[in-house]
Amino acid sequence: MTDANQQGASPAPQQGHSIETMQVEERRFPPSAAFAAQANAQPAIYDRDFDELWSTEAGRLDWFEPWTELYSWNPPQAEWYIGGKLNVCHNCVDRHVLAGRGDKVAFHWEGEPADEIVPITYSDLQSRVVLFANALKKLGVQKGTAVAIYMGMVPELPVAMLACTRLGAPHTVVFGGFSADSLGDRMVDMGCTVLITQDEAWRRGKPVGLKIIADEALELAPNVQTVIVAQRTFAPVAMQAGRDVFWADACAGLSDDPASCPCEPMDAEDLLFLMYTSGTTAKPKGIAHTTGGYLVGAATTHHYVFDHKPETDVYWCAADIGWITGHSYIVYGPLANGATSVLYEGTPDFPAHDRWWEIVERYGVTILYTAPTAIRSHMKWGAEHAAKHDLSTLRLLGSVGEPINPEAWIWYHEHIGGARCPIVDTWWQTETGMILIAPLPGVTTTKPGSATKPFPGVDVGVFNEAGEEVGPGGGGYLVLKKPWPGITRGIFGDPERFQDVYWSRFPGVYFAGDGARIDEDGDYWLLGRVDDVMNVAGHRMSTIEIESALVSHPAVAEAAVAARADAITGQAIVAFVTLRSGFESSVAMLEELRNHVAHVISPIAKPANIVFTPELPKTRSGKIMRRLLRDVAENRPLGDTTTLADPSVVGELQDRAAGENAGEE
Ligand code: PRX
């Protein structure tokens, strides 16, 4: 089905465009009439005026004091809902209980050991949050106290975040897979005085000692004076007298009555949290998000992009809360909208490859949001695992984090969505706080591999080097021309770096660092990070198109390409390929894949060589690290590997690359 639909277009260089595009994806998925009729978004949403839209949508929140000015914009500084006062915990928890929805499940929490299942209603959530907020208060936390949180996917994690927001204490959640150094650096940078962690976390059937890692981090961060330790496994842990206290002991004897701990009225522009994101070399950036604009943005996009119906949907964002996706689309957006969500502690393959599908069946999940890397893992494991379960409750699927290869999109559509669910491919970033480019289900005709249209009230463009719009058909740099409510207010403590990274390439315009092209219908195709663009014989090509061509071969589960220097063509393409289960690497397979790329895209995109590998090097959030693949392709020492999820993967790849030059021309 693939080749017939993905014919190679002309590879002639496109004048004035920064990145060439060669792949043409012709498959179209218009919304069904039935979905369209019930959809939250209707076509007229695209006609809405910017000011009207963001003013009206702010009405989905409760404001203690109304805002007086919609936004101000002095690049790079934006402010939204100026003068407004609100509280995030009130909007995410208390108001639902006050409205009589206390018995509704907020989270179906499921532990990695499958026998642990805890439904948490909005009333339960309120009690837990109030109790813990009282504990924090007693330990000296108040409005403005910086709190670090280092936990796995346990109920105490959202409870801790919400308790901070109740008191007006900004938090930084550090993903539970990060090292002691990463945690220590972040706690120092934010000036945290409190850390909330847990004894151990479950990871693929094994306990991981988070408290031990936290203790190491605390040596680097003497500013932290109080450590609260939730007990997940009840393993014995070292507790430092005067500094460390167990969660249960901190809460003992305190009230869970909401009146005992009112929600602090916060200014719309008060800091809500920092989310650190690693640059390629320098120290991580503390991306700042504030209260009002962030919450309006997360709630509004969650409502429309996921077509969320609080009364009937069971929503599951399978990310980790330690990333921005989990902040905006597990915790803040869905809770603001009164959602019933699944919160799952473990990995997709424990104890077996069908764990996710078992969960979908158990809770009757209707909306599933995940990442291309997870979808490709499921492809690698085989569709039979999903086929064992009843997935008929699903009605919408989402993707985020990387460009999704068209073949992975089709696999997701057929094997998970039963060919009936719209797929929303959502483009956004830690810095944007909220989805900015995505289909609106029921309105948008989707195309596998395209994030389609800017969200209403979001002004996106694609510029060439000179800062001119490339227009339909062209590839270039993705930019945002106007602010949006969830835009980061800056890099914590480093305004110069903020200016430099995002605002210096095109003055007054936000440069996202991604390449993109717009097609004749005005749909956006994300091309990956511009740093990854390759130049082969004068053709500037994105990695994603060649990777997608490889993934469109039935033997391939996952592929990544990188360039190495070449005396004749300037750069030559090296592909790293993971085969689906049941296929073997061989010289014949290598030739077949090279020819497949030549056929699907163009002979100039044909990889010079292919390295077969069981795993690709990825960051802990699942993104392929092409920078390291470049080092492997060039046969040079590896750059910084500290952000790798599994450092052993690249060492193995170097060995394989050294032994496999068979495909070289
Ligand atoms: O390169 C884009 C890619 O992920 C980057 C943002 O990463 P992060 O800040 O970790 O946030 C991930 C979750 C929002 C972007 O600059 N990216 C994210 N979503 C997509 C994507 N690339 C293509 N298509 C997407 N849907």
Which of 301, 429, 452 has the most ligand 1 atoms within 8 A of CB, as the residue to mutate?
A: 429
Structural contact between residues 550 and 597, judged by C-beta atoms closer than 8 angstroms:
yes
Share of the chain above pLDDT 70, in %: 96
Mean pLDDT of 262-273: 98
pLDDT class of 385 with cuts at 50, 70, 90: very high
When mean pLDDT is compared across 258-267, 365-374, 595-604, the lowest value belongs to 595-604
The pLDDT value given to residue 7: 36
The protein residue with its alpha carbon nearest to ligand 1, atom 26, reads 427
Nearest to 240 by CA among 221, 218, 220: 218
pLDDT class of 27 with cuts at 50, 70, 90: very high
Q: Is the CB of 427 under 6 A from ligand 1?
A: yes
Quote the CA–CA distance of 373 and 377 in Å, as a whole number: 6
pLDDT class of 57 with cuts at 50, 70, 90: very high
Side chain identity, residue 366: T
Q: Per residue in 89-126, is it b (16+ CB within 10 Å) or e — as a string?
A: bbbbbbbbbeeebbebbbbbbbbbeeeeeeebbbbbbb
Domains and CATH numbers, the chain: 533-658 (3.30.300.30)
Q: Which two tokens stand for residue 127?
A: 């009690």
Instruction: Determine how β-strand 244-246 pairs with β-strand 266-267.
Output: unpaired
Residue with tokens 């030059």: 661
What are the pLDDT digits (tens) for 479-500? 999 999 999 999 999 999 999 9
Enumerate the β-bridge partners of residue 577: 559, 612
The protein residue with its alpha carbon nearest to ligand 1, atom 5, reads 429
Q: Is the CB of 277 under 6 A from ligand 1?
A: yes
pLDDT class of 652 with cuts at 50, 70, 90: confident
Q: Is the CB of 325 under 6 A from ligand 1?
A: yes
Q: Half-sphere exposure (CA, 13 Å, Cβ side) for 15?
A: 0
pLDDT class of 659 with cuts at 50, 70, 90: low
In the reported structure, the alpha carbon of residue 283 is separated from the centroid of ligand 1 by a whole-number distance in angstroms of 20
- Give 641 or 302, the one with higher predicted confidence: 302
Q: Which two tokens stand for residue 476?
A: 């270039």
Chain center to CA of 61: 24
Mean pLDDT of 4-27: 57
Q: Half-sphere exposure (CA, 13 Å, Cβ side) for 431?
A: 22
3-state secondary structure 162-220: HHHHHHCCCEEECCCCCCHHHHHHHHHHHCCCEEEEECCEEECCEEECHHHHHHHHHHH
Side chain identity, residue 120: I
The pLDDT value given to residue 99: 98
In the reported structure, the alpha carbon of residue 400 is separated from the centroid of ligand 1 by a whole-number distance in angstroms of 6
In the reported structure, the alpha carbon of residue 430 is separated from the centroid of ligand 1 by a whole-number distance in angstroms of 8
Q: Which two tokens stand for residue 104?
A: 């509704």
Share of the chain above pLDDT 90, in %: 85
In the reported structure, the alpha carbon of residue 550 is separated from the centroid of ligand 1 by a whole-number distance in angstroms of 21
Q: Is the CB of 326 under 6 A from ligand 1?
A: no
Number of helices (H), then strands (E), in the chain: 22, 30
Q: Is the CB of 578 under 6 A from ligand 1?
A: no
pLDDT class of 17 with cuts at 50, 70, 90: low
Q: Could you give phi then psi for residue 407, rounded to 5 degrees?
A: -70, -35
Structural contact between residues 131 and 251, judged by C-beta atoms closer than 8 angstroms:
yes
Q: Which atom of ligand 1 is nearest to the CA of 544?
A: 23
Chain center to CA of 488: 15
Q: Is the CB of 61 under 6 A from ligand 1?
A: no
Look at the chain and count its residues: 665
Q: Is the dihedral of CA 355, 357, 362, 365 positive or negative?
A: positive
What are the pLDDT digits (tens) for 86-107? 999 999 999 999 999 999 999 9
pLDDT class of 281 with cuts at 50, 70, 90: low
pLDDT class of 14 with cuts at 50, 70, 90: very low
Hey, is 138 helix, strand or coil?
helix
pLDDT at 449 over 50: yes
pLDDT class of 11 with cuts at 50, 70, 90: very low
- The DSSP 8-state label assigned to residue 530 in this structure reads G
User: What's the mean pLDDT when you consider all of the chain?
Assistant: 93
The pLDDT value given to residue 282: 62
Structural contact between residues 296 and 485, judged by C-beta atoms closer than 8 angstroms:
yes
Q: Is the CB of 511 under 6 A from ligand 1?
A: no
Q: Which atom of ligand 1 is nearest to the CA of 438?
A: 26
Q: Is the CB of 429 under 6 A from ligand 1?
A: yes
Structural contact between residues 264 and 143, judged by C-beta atoms closer than 8 angstroms:
yes
The protein residue with its alpha carbon nearest to ligand 1, atom 14, reads 429
The protein residue with its alpha carbon nearest to ligand 1, atom 12, reads 401
The pLDDT value given to residue 24: 77
Q: Is the CB of 430 under 6 A from ligand 1?
A: yes
Structural contact between residues 197 and 151, judged by C-beta atoms closer than 8 angstroms:
yes
The pLDDT value given to residue 279: 61
Q: Which two tokens stand for residue 566?
A: 């070449």
Quote the CA–CA distance of 435 and 301 in Å, as a whole number: 6
Q: Which atom of ligand 1 is nearest to the CA of 428?
A: 14
Which of 446, 455, 526, 533 has the most ligand 1 atoms within 8 A of CB, as the residue to mutate?
A: 526
Q: What is the pTM of this model?
A: 0.92
Strand ranges (E), 30-104: 69-74, 77-82, 85-86
Q: Is the CB of 450 under 6 A from ligand 1?
A: no
The protein residue with its alpha carbon nearest to ligand 1, atom 15, reads 429
Mean pLDDT of 422-429: 98
pLDDT at 8 over 70: no
Which of 397, 511, 514 has the most ligand 1 atoms within 8 A of CB, as the residue to mutate?
A: 514
The pLDDT value given to residue 28: 97
Mean pLDDT of 614-642: 89
Whole-angstrom CA distances from 522 to 321, 465, 525 are: 33, 20, 10
pLDDT at 9 over 70: no
